[in-house]
Amino acid sequence: MSYETVIGLETHVQLSTASKIFCSDAAAFGGAPNTHISTISLAHPGTLPRLNKKAVEYAVKLGLALGCDINRRTHFDRKNYFYADLPKGFQTTQDRAPVCLGGSLTLKVGSTGQRSNPVIRIHHIHLEEDAGKSMHDQAPKHSMIDLNRAGVPLLEIVSEPDLRGPEEVAAYMEEIRRLVRWLGISDGNMEEGSMRCDVNISVRPMGSSTFGNRCEIKNMNSMRFAKRAIEYEVNRQIALIESGGTVEQETRGFDVAQGTTFSLREKENAHDYRYFPEPDLPPVVISEEYLTDIKTAMPPLPAILEQAFQTAYGLSAYDAEQLAQERDTALFAQQLLETAAVRYKGKDLSKTIANLLINKLLPWSAAGNIRPSDCPVPPVHWIDYAQMIESGQLSASAAAQRLFPAMLETPDKAPTLLATELNLLQSADSDFLEQLVDEVLARFPDKVAEYRKGKKGLLGMFMGEVMKASKGKAEPQTTTRILQEKLG
Ligand code: ADP
Ligand code: MG
């Protein structure tokens, strides 16, 4: 029998606010243990929380980007449990009235996927606080607790069980990461734990319309591990069913060294936590005006720009994806493409501009860790640079590689001027090229005869001679055309 994998994700995203969700302690990652703490993070008796309004704003932003309904009256609840890294004895989270309800995310999955562009429904998104961190490897006989993370704001994005395999999980996580970075609400850094997910997995016979029992694998903070964990868990569940057993609903961990999942505890239910409304925080009322302000300030969304790069500017899906990876680059690319269309009307420089950004700007930006829009080369110079390439004045040859470094060094100078000074321009001037071709053909009458008898491979040799005579300035396409005309 063949089985279908069913997955739902609970993704935790750490918000990049300056302070924690209910007090003014720093929310920054790292710091010496127990330095980002106050009596509130430590849950001293009598202290009261106060909501960080940036956290609400960030939740609303993500909700709008994912097409969720924004709950106009949202409140916090207590989730009660005992653990050493949770000094309050409860986590302040949202149960009954989360900030965002519904919404969806369309995945870009490649041709190897079973389904193309599946739409993954979002169940809801809620705000909550993170717990502290227990460290078991710092002292031989003791566990240590760092409460710096206690109270750091998190968004939990809960998907419907709409994902069908590790490839879709990876695409979903990548899309969420791009979106939170794009909106500037989180650094989406999985290595530092600012993005992690609990993976709920079940399997069912192909074609079945009911779900199987699920297991939840906790705290995956690497895409590579998540993929391995899913593959292992799917095989485990199938083997269990095939051997006549049943999958018990439970919470499991992933053992990185063994590549296996193991049981942590039986699945707890909502009533185990005795959720109840947080009495120390008033409900949050979201006004129409507040929503409008956030909507107005929203940047264009990545999926929309990526689409526009293809439809409005004819870029390939690959190029569009490269340019829309990150907001700063995408907005800069959009500005260049728009300006170029006006500056060189009737000429399509889009592909050349995309190439320059992908091959020159992005590597430069990554190497120096500088935002693309902080590149000293002004937009109009990028466009003229593209125009020189497109019109054949500037070759893609080794010599021309000197132009970009020169542009970075003297960003005020027009690239045409720089190329002239550096002697990088090539000629597509027919009179000049015809004269060179005539000279070369006159020097090799034997080869010309051979060519005419059918030895077409000699074209390359003639090209080489014309290049030499022009000192590398002959524009190859025009030269080839003239050579073929004269030889033919
Ligand atoms: P709980 O409240 O017990 O955590 P939920 O119904 O809220 O359970 O679901 C939690 C997550 O598990 C969601 O992301 C959901 O999509 C996913 N999920 C629910 N049922 C299944 C299933 N049968 N197989 C895989 N994932 C599931
Ligand atoms: Mg849950």
* Domain coverage including residue 262: 3-289
Burial of 454 (0-12, 13-18, 19+ CB in 10 A): exposed
Low-confidence winner among 28-37, 156-165, 189-198, 396-405 (lowest mean pLDDT): 396-405
**368 domain residue, yes or no:** yes
Ligand 1 center to 4 CA (angstroms):
16
- Rounded average pLDDT over 398-410: 85
Contact (Cβ atoms closer than 8 angstroms) between residue 179 and residue 157: no
pLDDT (0 to 100) of residue 220: 92
pLDDT score recorded for residue 113 = 53
Whether residues 19 and 75 fall in one domain: yes
Residues 221 and 282 both lie in one domain = yes
pLDDT band at 396 (very low <50, low <70, confident <90, very high): low
Query: Which pLDDT score, from 0 to 100, does residue 398 have?
Result: 58
Kindly report, residue by residue over 85-111, the tens digit of the pLDDT.
Answer: 999 999 999 999 999 999 999 998 864
Assess whether 308 and 265 both reside in one domain.
no
Supply the pLDDT for residue 399.
Answer: 61
pLDDT band at 114 (very low <50, low <70, confident <90, very high): low
Query: What's the 161 CA to ligand 1 centre distance in angstroms?
Result: 6
Query: 392 with 475: CB under 8 angstroms?
Result: yes
Number of domains in the chain: 3
For residue 160, the ligand 1 atom closest to its alpha carbon is 16
Shared domain for 191 and 172, answered yes or no, is yes
Averaged pLDDT of the chain: 93
- Reported as a single tens digit per residue, the pLDDT across 24-74 is 999 998 899 999 999 999 999 999 999 999 999 999 999 999 999 999 999
Same domain? For 314 and 454 the reply is no
Based on the fold, state whether residues 321 and 450 are members of the same structural domain: no
* Residue 138 CA to ligand 1 centre (angstroms): 35
Query: In angstroms, what is the span from residue 157 Cα to ligand 1's centroid?
Result: 12
Check whether residue 373 and residue 460 sit in a common domain: no
Kindly state the percentage of the chain with pLDDT values over 70. Answer: 98
Residue 450, in any domain of the structure: yes
Q: Relative to the CA of 162, which ligand 1 atom is closest?
A: 16
pLDDT at 467: 86
Ligand 2 geometric centre to CA of 38 (Å)? 29
Protein residues whose CB sits closer than 6 Å to any atom of ligand 1: 6-10, 158-161, 200-202, 211, 214
Work out the average pLDDT over 358-374. Answer: 93
Domain-located, residue 411: yes
CB of 166 closer than 8 Å to CB of 231: yes
Please state, in angstroms and rounded to a whole number, the distance separating the CA atoms of residues 477 and 181: 43
Domain assignment present for 294:
no
What is the CATH number for 453? Answer: 1.10.10.410
Residue 395 in this model has a pLDDT that exceeds 80: no
Query: Which of 243, 269, 289 lies at the terminal end of a domain, its last residue?
Result: 289
Same domain for 321 and 469, yes or no, is: no
Most informative mutation of 176, 214, 247 for ligand 1 (most atoms within 8 A of CB): 214
Considering the domain architecture, whether residues 118 and 77 belong to the same structural domain is answered as yes
Q: Which ligand is located closest to the Cα atom of residue 5?
A: 1
**Cα–ligand 2 centroid distance for 18 (angstroms):** 27
| pLDDT over threshold 80, residue 269 | no
- Give me the pLDDT at residue 203, please: 97
Q: Are residues 198 and 305 in the same domain?
A: no
For ligand 1, atom 19, which residue shows the shortest CA distance?
Answer: 161
Residue to mutate (ligand 1; options 200, 215, 269; most atoms within 8 A of CB) = 200
pLDDT class for 420, splitting at 50, 70, 90?
Answer: confident
State the pLDDT at residue 397: 64
- Residue 62 within a domain: yes
Pair 324, 309: CB distance under 8 Å: yes
- pLDDT, tens digit, 9 for 90 and up, residues 239-254: 999 999 999 999 999 9
Per cent of the chain over pLDDT 90 is: 81
| Minimum CA distance residue for ligand 1 atom 7 | 158
Residue 145 included in any domain: yes
Say how many Å lie between the CA of residue 384 and the centre of ligand 2. Answer: 54
pLDDT on residue 54 = 97
Angle at 370 (CA atoms; ends 56, 411), nearest 5 degrees: 130
For residue 269, give the ligand 1 atom closest to its CA: 3
Please indicate, yes or no, if residue 281 is contained in any of the structural domains: yes
Q: Is the same domain home to 327 and 250? A: no
Query: 432-458: per-residue pLDDT in tens?
Result: 888 889 999 999 999 999 999 999 999
Q: 449 and 341, same structural domain?
A: no
